[in-house]
Structure 1
Amino acid sequence: MMPSRRAGSRTASPALKTSLKTALVVLSASFTLVLSALGLVSARVARLVVTPAARRADLKILALDTSAQTITVSRTPDTALPGRYGLFTVGTEQYVKIGTVLAEDEKTVTRKLLTHIGAHARLAPDAAFSGWYFDRPEQLHLPYVSELIGSAVGPCPAWLFPSPEPSDTWCIQVHGRGTTRAECLRAVPLFHAQGINTLVVSYRNDGEAPRSRTGTYALGATEWRDVDAAVGFARRRGAQRIILMGWSMGGAIALQLALTSAHRDRISGIILDSPVIDWRVVLNYQAAQLGLPRVVRDLAIETLSSEWGTVITRTGAPIPFDRLDVVSRADQLQHPVLILHSDDDGFVPSDASHDLASARPDLVEMNVFDTARHTKLWNYDPERWEKTIRSWVQTHAVTTPHEGEGS
């Protein structure tokens, strides 16, 4: 007689098999949906990184007192900062300058208006905070000429502020992502006072220069060519010593130019304000600030850096993150570099700046701020900012580069 099977070893019933199959199908579908959702989010993030950004409102105007010349706005990390700033506004004024914080609480900040607002002025509630302070070149009350720099994508507008006396030293300033050349105006008086010509340039897809074929940013990998054309322009006008100054993504552009340009023998130094030194550090930080999962961040960077991802990003070519990582290329640097960066930047973390300074202490000098936020170091402490740059320029950028290098 055959021994009976124990209950636990019996073959699964048809009903149980059906239930298991259904569960597996549901789990598989759910997993596919999760992967699809992650893929869609990653694709959107990747696309946003390379799409030229429009200015957006980031605060509310709550009260305007034209008799006292004060303005009350919603409190944000930026609006509570000490110093001088600007507001992009809608109404009878398109841009107003603001100064001292007069009063503040948990939700509001009242500041002194530095742009006179008439009694009949009307401003819409939505506004955008700005570190530019100056938004037009004529506000500097310095002579300037509008120029067009011929580049591969077409004529790129620039402002040339000639030095008070003839000089063969030029500073070429490069603005950051999502801004225009007006961002650089804060630095012009400093260089003018030192007898240095200043060329404030534009580059492809920034809203002023011509659009490239794809209309997307390459995060410095192609934009440097337009600035290189400006270097050629300066040399044809007699420049012997060229200082590159880059703000935020303009720092990444300046560094790519310094590492690649055929004109690099005429570069006497590089000044970087809140610079992007390694894009992967920046993108990981910004994604974490938005609360995006690590897998989304990694997939977005993979999308940007791969050939297959160009179908999604429409960049025409992968973003060369390794080439844009100047910390890993620190041994290739040839020019003295001054970095001004706040550890409280809030947008482009200062980690890579510290890493580059540590990797090349022989060439890289870093001046670390706190409290000040992204590209607002001049606004927060103009005396320290200007003194640092003035001293560095006098030390590093006063000799002809090819003489200093012994060639």
Structure 2
Amino acid sequence: MARRMGARDTLGIAAAAIGLLAAGVTAAGAIIAVKFARQVVTPPTSRVEDVRISAVDLASGEVVLAASDDSRMRGRYGFWFEHESGHVRLGDVVAEDARLVRRRIERVDFGRFDRAARGRVNGWYHLGPWELGHAYENVVVETALGPAPAWFVPAEGGSDRWIIQVHGRGAKRQEGLRAVEPAWEAGWNTLLVSYRNDGEAPESEDRRYGLGGTEWADVVAATRYAIEHGAERIVLMGWSMGGAIVLQSVLRSEEVRERLVAVVLDSPAIDWVDILRFQGEALGFPRGLGDVVSRLIGGPWSGGLTGLAAPIDVTDLDPVARADEFDMPMLLMHSVDDGFVPIDGSRRLAEARPDLIEFEVFEGARHTKLWNHDPERWTGLLRGWLERSAEGPERIQEEAEIVG
């Protein structure tokens, strides 16, 4: 049920509007900034089907898509269509020109693909742990807001080593399924968790993202669950905004650091100011709008505009500024062609702590699609990292010194 606007909200809107105008933002610019700010912190309820389907030939097992950055991507992907009522697995590109891209169809999971007109490419590929060929359990992590569903995939023969997967903004647990196989091969249990406002875990009162500033508490709960179930060594892995969540949990919780031996980050959200600038320009908004949005969601009177229960000071979420507080090795993977979260923040974090961070740069992969683009390299990096992490952070450091 929508919350009714009260006098305090009205004052907040007025104060925020005055603040934007005082900062030199036009009335039109203020409207755009408010819309963008709300979009940033509001969990999406639907996704844009931005790829046009030109032809589907189920007999030959091929589909022709309108050419775009997404449809041209090399590798294997999931593809949702008809407002997520249908799903297929797409194989690699067969042929392309300036207008069209022909791809293999690996499998139609459900829906009438032959009748679909539009869809969207998804990097998840796997729909659930039941597809991986390993035993798994549906479990529940007790958070401060209530029970949050999770998947647990145990290593063969059992293990006291756990890797906890934290998905990104607008995603769900399926995002981390690509990491299960290399973790299983390295002898690690995998816990794929949900967190507040992701559509599976309990909602917060404001039903808004905290960009890592609130969700980290649910990672603490997941860590507690792992320890209560026998974890002696823990690795946290975060995807996109999940990376921001993981880093905030490390910085803010001694409980998380107690048995943490390493961190893995895939296309992480490091610098929110930089991300908002990049995304604003990518959407065709006026230059500098990202800075306005950063001030807006951090303003004391912005709740009436964004729906946030408390302001988000994005500068407080910058891990580079607190890089000297980290003391565990990190594997950081990012693509120069990300297209959504610029690689610059990852570069700065890696440069701030070269003694701890192994920085692996990919080319040609878009956001959180490193596995899809180059599964052999990505899988080898993660499996090797976990094999070394099984021996503790000292082993990872020894390897880094040898390579260096």
Structure 1 residues 119 and 377: alpha-carbon distance in aligned structure 2, compared to 1, 3 A threshold: closer
- The aligned counterpart of 2:13 is none
TM-superposition CA deviations, 1:127-155 (whole Å, max 9, x none): 11111111222111211100111101111
TM-superposition CA deviations, 1:34-63 (whole Å, max 9, x none): 722121111111111101023221111211
- The aligned counterpart of 2:303 is 310
* Contact residue 87 and residue 110 of structure 2 kept, 8 A: no
- The aligned counterpart of 1:144 is 136
**1:172-187 equivalences in 2 (<5 Å):** 172-187=164-179
TM-superposition CA deviations, 1:97-117 (whole Å, max 9, x none): 011211211121111111058
- The aligned counterpart of 1:36 is 27
Structure 1: segments with no counterpart, 5+ residues: 1-29
- TM-score w.r.t. length of structure 2: 0.88
TM-superposition CA deviations, 1:174-197 (whole Å, max 9, x none): 000011111111111110111100
- The aligned counterpart of 2:122 is 130
**1:304-343 equivalences in 2 (<5 Å):** 304-343=297-336
* Contact residue 302 and residue 309 of structure 1 kept, 8 A: no
Query: Alpha-carbon deviation of 1:119?
Result: 12
- TM-score w.r.t. length of structure 1: 0.87
* Contact residue 148 and residue 158 of structure 1 kept, 8 A: yes
Q: Which one of the candidate residues 229, 245, 266 is aligned to 1:253? A: 245
Q: Which one of the candidate residues 219, 224, 230 is aligned to 1:232? A: 224
- The aligned counterpart of 2:339 is 346
Query: Alpha-carbon deviation of 1:365?
Result: 1.0
How far apart in 2 are the matches of 1:371 and 1:112?
19
Structure 1 residues 250 and 121: alpha-carbon distance in aligned structure 2, compared to 1, 3 A threshold: closer
TM-superposition CA deviations, 1:42-91 (whole Å, max 9, x none): 11111111010232211112111111111111111111111111101229
Query: In terms of mean alpha carbon deviation, does 311-320 or 163-172 score higher?
Result: 311-320
How far apart in 1 are the matches of 2:319 and 2:117?
42
* Contact residue 210 and residue 312 of structure 2 kept, 8 A: yes
* Contact residue 86 and residue 111 of structure 2 kept, 8 A: no
* Contact residue 243 and residue 397 of structure 1 kept, 8 A: no
TM-superposition CA deviations, 1:306-361 (whole Å, max 9, x none): 11112211111111312210111111111111101001111000001011111101
Query: Alpha-carbon deviation of 1:283?
Result: 0.7
Q: Which one of the candidate residues 36, 40, 53 is aligned to 1:45? A: 36
Query: Alpha-carbon deviation of 1:273?
Result: 0.4
Q: CA RMSD in A?
A: 2.3
**Secondary structure, aligned partner of 1:243:** strand
**1:138-217 equivalences in 2 (<5 Å):** 138-217=130-209
- The answer to whether 1:281 aligns with 2:274 is yes
Identity of aligned residues (%): 44
One-letter amino acid matched to 1:35: T
How far apart in 2 are the matches of 1:81 and 1:165?
38
Structure 1 residues 32 and 132: alpha-carbon distance in aligned structure 2, compared to 1, 3 A threshold: closer
Query: Alpha-carbon deviation of 1:397?
Result: 4.3
* Contact residue 69 and residue 116 of structure 1 kept, 8 A: no
Structure 1 residues 146 and 215: alpha-carbon distance in aligned structure 2, compared to 1, 3 A threshold: same
Q: Which one of the candidate residues 286, 290, 299 is aligned to 1:297? A: 290
* Contact residue 296 and residue 302 of structure 2 kept, 8 A: yes
Query: Alpha-carbon deviation of 1:290?
Result: 2.0
How far apart in 2 are the matches of 1:75 and 1:241?
45
- The aligned counterpart of 1:114 is 106
* Contact residue 91 and residue 122 of structure 1 kept, 8 A: no
- The aligned counterpart of 1:89 is 81
**Secondary structure, aligned partner of 2:254:** coil
How far apart in 1 are the matches of 2:194 and 2:91?
28
Q: Which one of the candidate residues 359, 372, 376 is aligned to 1:366? A: 359
Query: Alpha-carbon deviation of 1:400?
Result: 7.8
One-letter amino acid matched to 1:100: D
Larger radius of gyration: 1
Count of aligned residue pairs for this structure pair: 373
How far apart in 1 are the matches of 2:244 and 2:83?
36
Structure 1 residues 303 and 165: alpha-carbon distance in aligned structure 2, compared to 1, 3 A threshold: same
One-letter amino acid matched to 1:43: V
* Contact residue 277 and residue 288 of structure 2 kept, 8 A: no
One-letter amino acid matched to 1:39: A
**Secondary structure, aligned partner of 2:235:** strand
Q: Which one of the candidate residues 366, 387, 394 is aligned to 2:387? A: 394
How far apart in 2 are the matches of 1:123 and 1:93?
12
TM-superposition CA deviations, 1:222-269 (whole Å, max 9, x none): 101111101000000010110000000000001011111232121110
Structure 1 residues 363 and 302: alpha-carbon distance in aligned structure 2, compared to 1, 3 A threshold: same
- The answer to whether 1:244 aligns with 2:236 is yes
How far apart in 1 are the matches of 2:388 and 2:113?
48
Query: In terms of mean alpha carbon deviation, does 119-128 or 383-392 score higher?
Result: 119-128
* Contact residue 89 and residue 109 of structure 2 kept, 8 A: no
One-letter amino acid matched to 2:346: S
One-letter amino acid matched to 2:231: A
Structure 2: segments with no counterpart, 5+ residues: 1-20, 398-404
How far apart in 2 are the matches of 1:158 and 1:117?
23
One-letter amino acid matched to 2:57: D
* Contact residue 278 and residue 290 of structure 2 kept, 8 A: no
